[in-house]
Amino acid sequence: MTVKTNTKVDALKIGKKIAKNQQSELTILGKDGKIQNKNS
């Protein structure tokens, strides 16, 4: 699943809920498309 938000804070809030619900990994990408952080 991919979600685009206006702020990184919003992305983290939504992403953590989705990842926990689906028992999946959350990958945070920067504006340049590079991986900044991964959470299992």
pLDDT digits (tens, 9 = 90+) for 1-40: 777 889 889 988 998 999 999 999 988 888 899 998 887 6
Q: Which residues span the domain enclosing 17?
A: 8-39
Is 18 inside a domain boundary?
yes
Is 26 inside a domain boundary?
yes
17, 1 Cβ separation under 8 angstroms: no
Is 3 inside a domain boundary?
no
Is 2 inside a domain boundary?
no
Domain count across the chain: 1
Q: What whole-number distance in Å separates Cα of residue 10 and Cα of residue 4?
A: 9
Is 13 inside a domain boundary?
yes
> What is this structure's pTM?
0.64
Q: What whole-number distance in Å separates Cα of residue 14 and Cα of residue 5?
A: 9
- Token code pair at residue 33: 């498309």
Is 24 inside a domain boundary?
yes
- pLDDT on residue 3: 78
Is 1 inside a domain boundary?
no
